[in-house]
Amino acid sequence: MKKLALHWQILLGMALGVVFALILSNFGWGPNFIEDWIKPFGTIFINALKLIAVPLILASLIKGVSDLKDISSLSQMGLRTIVTYIITTVIAVSIGLGVVNLVKPGSTITEDTRSELVEAYGGEAEMKRQDAQRQKDAGPLQALEDLVPDNIIGAAGNNRNMLQVIFFAIFFGIGLILIPEKTAQPVKDFFDGFNEVILKMIDLIMLTAPYGVFALLAALVVEAPSADLFAALGMYALCVVGGLALMIGVYILLVWIFTRHTPKSFLNGIGPAQLLAFSTSSSAATLPVTMERVEEHLGVKREVTSFVLPIGATINMDGTSLYQAVAAVFIAQAFGMDLSFGTQLGIIATATLASIGSAAVPGAGMVMLVIVLAQAGIPEAGLALIFAIDRPLDMCRTTVNVTGDAAVSMMVAKSQGKLGVPMVKDWDDNYKK
Q: pLDDT tens digit string along 275-297? A: 877 766 667 667 777 888 888 88
> Which range, of 108-112, 132-136, 351-355, averages the lowest pLDDT?
132-136
For residue 187, the model assigns a pLDDT of 93
> Which range, of 86-95, 153-162, 221-230, averages the lowest pLDDT?
221-230
Whether 163 has a pLDDT exceeding 50, the answer reads: yes
432 inside domain: no
Q: List the beta bridge partners of residue 430.
A: 425
What contacts 24+ positions apart, CB below 8 Å, involve 268-272? 268/297, 268/426, 268/427, 269/293, 269/294, 269/297, 269/298, 269/406, 269/422, 269/426, 269/427, 270/294, 270/297, 270/298, 270/402, 270/403, 270/406
- Domain at 226, CATH number: 1.10.3860
433 inside domain: no
367 inside domain: yes
160 inside domain: yes
For residue 118, the model assigns a pLDDT of 59
Distance of alpha carbon 237 from alpha carbon 392, whole angstroms: 9
For residue 253, the model assigns a pLDDT of 95
| Three-state secondary structure call for residue 188 | helix
Which residues does 98 contact at the CB level (< 8 Å), separation at least 6? Answer: none
Query: What pLDDT digit, counting tens, does each position of 393-404 carry?
Result: 887 888 899 999
pTM over 0.85: no
Query: What pLDDT digit, counting tens, does each position of 14-58 carry?
Result: 789 889 998 998 898 998 999 899 989 988 877 787 777 678 768
1 inside domain: no
Max Cα-Cα span within the chain: 71
For residue 39, the model assigns a pLDDT of 87
Question: What total of structural domains would you count in the chain?
Answer: 1
- 258 vs 384 pLDDT, higher one: 258
Which domain covers residue 114, as residue numbers?
Answer: 6-427
54 inside domain: yes
Q: Are 67 and 178 in contact (CB under 8 A)?
A: no
CA dist list (Å): 399 to 59, 136, 406: 24, 36, 11
Q: Give me Rg for the CA atoms of the chain.
A: 22
| Three-state secondary structure call for residue 394 | helix
Structure confidence at residue 130 as a pLDDT band (50, 70, 90): low
